Amino acid sequence: MLYQARIHDLPTGDRPRERLRDAGASALSNPELLAIILRTGGAKENALAMASRLLATFHGLAGLARCSFADLRAQHGLGDAKAAQIQAAMELGKRLVAAQPEERPVIRSAEDAARLLQSDMAVLDQEHMRVLVLNTRNHVLATADVYRGNVHTAVIRIGELFREALRHNAPAIILAHNHPSGDPSPSADDVAMTKQAVEGGELLDIEVLDHLVIGSNSYVSLKQQGLAFS
């Protein structure tokens, strides 16, 4: 049986804490940041592997932030201390956003949106459709996970894509979904669904700014490709 190397056994340049010290927190991926919060792993996986597993299990940071203490405690390798560390970190993040709304992420380009979503969505083993809800200054008001499974026109109700935007009275959204195969090439269904979403947004006076397809190490912007956007 293969065991994960301990963090201390990794080359210095690959250790999350050392990378944070040398390159800054913004240079770290979500699994690396979570590994620092966890501090240690278990007998068969290091903290980085545990962090990656938790993010995949709960479908990214947004899902992890919604977990109850009991949900976390039920995960292999998480005792009371690690569950408490995760919940405390998530709560601090929520309070920071609430206290400083001007510090919400700003989306000025497809690259900005991809940077916000890539690390979470690239590791998911099912297709997920997420919606970034934006205000008039392109600040992210919310990120909603709308669908899980096969994302295509047969299963998506277009109105669901706008639910969170309507709740926030927001003028714009960005759609994003992942391809677990790792290849971000848009399918015909991706293009057709996007076209329906753009048309639906026009009726609701909510602009669909873009639709990103997230792969393992890259993404495709349908708007930049001239697909489904006039």
Question: Which pLDDT does position 12 carry in this prediction?
Answer: 55
Please, what are the domains in the chain?
Answer: 7-101 (1.10.150), 104-221 (3.40.140.10)
Q: Given the structure tokens 């959204």, which residue do they identify?
A: 173
Enter the DSSP assignment of 170.
-
Q: Check the CA dihedral 28-165-172-202 and report its sign.
A: positive
Question: Which pLDDT does position 102 carry in this prediction?
Answer: 57
Question: Which pLDDT does position 99 carry in this prediction?
Answer: 60
Q: Splitting the chain (230 residues) into consecutive groups of 10 residues, what average pLDDT does each group show?
A: 51 74 85 90 85 91 87 93 93 72 80 90 87 93 84 72 92 95 92 94 96 93 92
41 neighbors 77 (Cβ within 8 angstroms): yes
Cα gap 17→10, rounded to integer Å: 12
